[in-house]
Chains A and B, each alone.
Chain A
Amino acid sequence: MEKQITFTIDGKTIKASPKDTILTAAEKNGIVIPNLCYNKEVSCTAACRLCIVKIEGRPGFHPSCAMKAADGMKVKAFTDEIEKQRRIILDLLLSAHNDDCINCKKDGDCELQDLAFKYNLGRDSRDFPPIWEQLEETSDSTSQVLDYDATKCIQCQRCIKACQEKQGKGILTFANRGIKTTVTTGYPQWNASLCDGCGECQQACPVGALTMKPVYSPNNRVRQKDIEKTTTTTCPYCGVGCQIDVSTINNRIVKVDGHNDIPNHGSTCVKGRFGLDFVNHPERLTKPLIRKDGKFEEAEWNEALKYTADRLVKIKTEYGSNSVCGLSSARCTNEDNYLFQKFMRSIVGTNNVDHCARL
């Protein structure tokens, strides 16, 4: 077994692995140190500085998301002094953030809003005047699936790192520096870039700066709290079998997120996230069709299955097994595909079996 280390946070004994940072060790022990730029899926940025703690014997404050926990460390995470700094940092963030929460898609699902609420930073309790309007930052909503609202961006780099480190694409970067920093693809417009719209970035965004376009319900904006039901399922698109969380209202899909589990660990591609609109499409086939006199006619499953089986048996006896070929779909699960080739080989008796896998 891996060696464990022991240290304390505000006097409480913490056991952790030597790989843990102070922040992750605290989290595992039920202590949540406030954070915004931290995202366990990507490398540490240490930019928001909300997670600062004090460590006995070391001068100054240290970001707990970047500091490895060490044996015997004595950490202070919630003294008045530290909390005061956090409050000021949040106050600063809010002054540069368009806090029109009423009109924000992320209302109720926003890490900044949660922290502002926790630290009681309503508009009247803030020290710093709003400056976000003066900054004249460039927003971009030219992507077919994403909206970037620079006035809400807190420059945490989670999107940039998600695109680079999780998707390996590196589409995003910061433009400018200092207070003028915004997220950009480098092209004048998002839709001119090589972004394929996987949406990884918006899933990483802790606030309402990068959000999905309402592709599933164009006329009806949806917030997290409007969602009635979220179902974890397997993406029907390809053989990878990504796990996705499908959110529905009134039995209609309104949103898809990557589910953090094997094999995709929260990621999806553009199809999985934005391509499930076929589910409720009026032209979607819901019944088998049989061509009769050159025209497709709806049939019941029993009839269709029987028809298929009869034809297969007939062709096989008349022309031999190898006159049949099977083509399976990448949208089926692994198990379905396995069964299909088994069926072709042992029942039909041919190796003529292939798979589209080119979606």
Chain B
Amino acid sequence: MGCQTCTQQQEGGSILSSFPDKASELEQHIDSLEITHNISRNRGHLIHCLHKAQELFGYLPEDVQLLIAKKLRLNLSDVYGVISFYSFFTTNPPGKYKINICLGTACFVKGADKILKEFEKRLGIKDGETTEDLKFSLGGLRCVGACSLAPVVIVNGKVYAKVDPGMVEGIIKDCDKEQK
């Protein structure tokens, strides 16, 4: 037994050593927080730190989790338990184009489910998955608050309004175009 943290980090090729700038930015950020002797108060910074880390790395692989755990003096279980609870956090690298379909009630009654299915069909992945080439990830969102434009699809922040299944192909093509 034992923690084996060190061996694991060597094995996977640490994301921290691949991106030393980001790693040190994260460390500095955590160091700038008010860390006291009161462990349960320190824990209050956890979700904030995870947001910061995901912003930097795009996702939260194990060595990033370990770094945060160490800095906040928590167990990895505390960190992982929280990550896996909240759907905003992911432990897998996301696709280049994040296609999010609003599945809020207003969009649903206007047919958002059909749009999701169409995307699933065209990209060959399911809700919450990423294509193998890491190009697209597909996700449902709960109400983005643009109900008047329902149904809504958001690709990397760009809003497509009043989408119907026929527009799906075009949206995917838009991403291709952008890449060129």
A173 touches B78 (CB 8 A): yes
A89 within 8 A of B: no
B62 neighbours in A (Cβ, 8 Å): 187-188
- Expressed in whole angstroms, the minimum distance between the Cβ of B9 and any Cβ of chain A is 11
Q: Which residues of A sit under 8 angstroms from B3, Cβ to Cβ?
A: 192-194
The number of chain A residues touching the other chain, given as a range, is 20 to 34
Contacts of A177 in B (CB 8 A): 84-85
- A222 contacts the other chain (CB 8 A): no
Assess the B1–A191 pair: CB atoms within 8 A: yes
Cβ contact of A193, chosen from B76, B79, B84, cutoff 8 A: B76
B59 within 8 A of A: no
User: Does B14 have its Cβ within 8 Å of any Cβ on chain A?
Assistant: no
Instruction: Bin the interface of chain B by size.
Output: 10 to 19
Q: Is residue A176 contacting chain B, with contact meaning CB distance below 8 A?
A: yes
With both chains docked as a complex, state the minimum distance between the C-beta of B120 and any C-beta of chain A, in angstroms: 19
Q: How far is the CB of B76 from chain A (nearest CB, A)?
A: 4
In whole angstroms, what is the CA distance A272 to B1 when docked?
Answer: 17
Chain A residues, CB < 8 A from B80: 173, 175, 184, 186-187
- A194 touching B81 by the CB < 8 A rule? no
In Å, the complex CA distance between A96 and B8 comes to 34
> Known contacts being A176-B85, A177-B85, A192-B8, is A186 close to B1, with CB within 8 Å?
no
Q: Is B4 touching A173 in the complex (CB atoms < 8 A)? A: no
A269 at the interface (CB under 8 A from B): no
Q: List the B side residues contacting A171 at CB < 8 Å.
A: 75, 77
The digit string for B1-17, where 1 denotes a CB below 8 A from any CB of A, is 11110001000000000
For the A-B complex, the count of residue pairs with Cβ-Cβ distances under 8 Å equals 55
Q: A186-B76, A187-B76, A193-B76 are in contact. Are A174 and B81 (CB under 8 A)?
A: yes
A170 CB contact (under 8 Å) in B1, B2, B8, B77: B77
- Near A by CB (< 8 A), chain B positions 53-86 give 62, 65, 75-81, 84-85
**Distance of A170 Cα from B43 Cα, bound (Å):** 14
Contact string, A79-120, partner B, CB cutoff 8 A, digits 1/0?
Answer: 000000000000000000000000000000000000000000
Q: A297 interface residue, CB < 8 Å from B?
A: no
Closest to A177 in B: B85
Bound complex: CA A333 to CA B130 (Å): 61
Contact between chains at B77 and A184 (CB < 8 Å): yes
Would you give the shortest CB distance from A39 to chain B, in whole angstroms?
Answer: 19
- Chain A nearest CB from B65 CB (Å) reads 8
A193 and B77 within 8 A (CB) = yes
A172 at the interface (CB under 8 A from B): yes
A192-B4, A192-B8 known; A186 vs B79 contact (CB < 8 Å): yes
Whether the Cβ atoms of A197 and B1 lie closer than 8 Å is yes
Distance from A26 Cβ to chain B, minimum over Cβ atoms (Å): 33
The reply on A196 being an interface residue by CB < 8 A is yes
Q: B residues within 8 A CB of A195?
A: 1
Instruction: Tell me if A4 counts as interface (CB < 8 A to partner B).
Output: no
Give Cα A298–Cα B81 distance, bound, in whole angstroms: 56
The docked-state distance in angstroms from the alpha carbon of A144 to that of B2 is: 12
B4 CB, nearest partner CB in chain A, Å: 5
- Which A residues are CB-close (under 8 A) to B2? 194
Q: Which residues of B contact A196 (CB under 8 A)?
A: 1
27 contacts between A and B (CB under 8 A): A143-B1, A144-B1, A170-B75, A171-B75, A174-B84, A175-B80, A175-B84, A176-B85, A177-B85, A184-B77, A184-B81, A185-B76, A185-B77, A186-B65, A186-B76, A186-B77, A186-B78, A186-B79, A187-B76, A187-B80, A192-B3, A192-B4, A192-B8, A194-B2, A194-B3, A194-B75, A197-B1
A residues at B contact (CB < 8 Å): 143-144, 169-177, 184-188, 191-197
5 further A-B pairs in the complex, CB-CB below 8 A; given A185-B77, A193-B77: A170-B78, A172-B77, A186-B65, A186-B78, A187-B76
